[in-house]
Amino acid sequence: MKFCSECGSHLRQAIPKGDNRLRHICTHCEIVHYQNPKIVAGTLPVFDGKILLCKRAIEPRLGYWTLPAGFMENQETTTEAALRETLEEAEAKVELEGLYTVMNVPQIDQVHIFFRARLINGHFGAGDETLETKLFALEDIPWDHISFPTVFQTLKHYIADHQLNDFPVHVKDIVRKKA
């Protein structure tokens, strides 16, 4: 950030009194501009024992397979965001079966939340951000072409949990190793 969204003046970076992090602070009106992580919400849709994946039509990771998910909007709940993103990306209506994974990705200031879901009528398609959608048997998941570590980990959890028929909530930090 370079300019204050309240008065248009230049910003400086400093640690406000009582805080412990650098923040953008207006040089004129002294408003502190907080920047917080973005939430990505999506689903792990299942139909007849198969998982619905979307091949990305956009960067990052164009052409790689992902679960239907995207950035949460203001004035939207995580469940509403997951349902909306599933409809937008996979043209699929689902019934949520519970929170499944919460993946913290601090190096990109994101939190990814996936819900287990049941594809309602087996209908799906490709939305504007999707090249194609496909139901994959668990043994046919294209592991070398999965888009993001959060999706990879969510799928791995699902396969292990499916064998036990027990689906607890998984919370994990996906932290890039420093060189």
Q: What is the pLDDT of residues 93-144, one digit of tens each?
A: 999 999 999 999 999 999 999 999 999 999 999 999 999 999 999 999 999 9
What's the whole-number mean pLDDT along residues 1-13?
A: 96
To the question of pTM greater than 0.85 for the whole model, the response is yes
The sign of the CA dihedral 53, 55, 58, 59 is positive
Q: Has residue 35 got a pLDDT over 80?
A: yes
- Tracing tokens 């920047």 back to the chain, one arrives at 35
pLDDT at 179: 65
Q: Has residue 82 got a pLDDT over 70?
A: yes
The C-alpha angle 9, 12, 13, rounded to 5 degrees, equals 150
pLDDT at 61: 97
Q: What is the pLDDT of residues 151-168, one digit of tens each?
A: 999 999 999 999 999 999
Q: Residue 177 — pLDDT band, cuts 50, 70, 90?
A: confident
Q: Residue 71 — pLDDT band, cuts 50, 70, 90?
A: very high
Within 8 A by CB and 6+ apart from 166, the residues are: none
Q: What are the φ/ψ torsions at residue 43 (nearest 5 degrees)? A: -130, 160
Instruction: Indicate the pairing of strand 94-105 with strand 170-173.
Output: parallel
Q: Which domains does the chain have, with CATH numbers?
A: 1-35 (2.20.70.10), 38-173 (3.90.79.10)
What's the whole-number mean pLDDT along residues 54-68?
A: 98
pLDDT at 176: 85
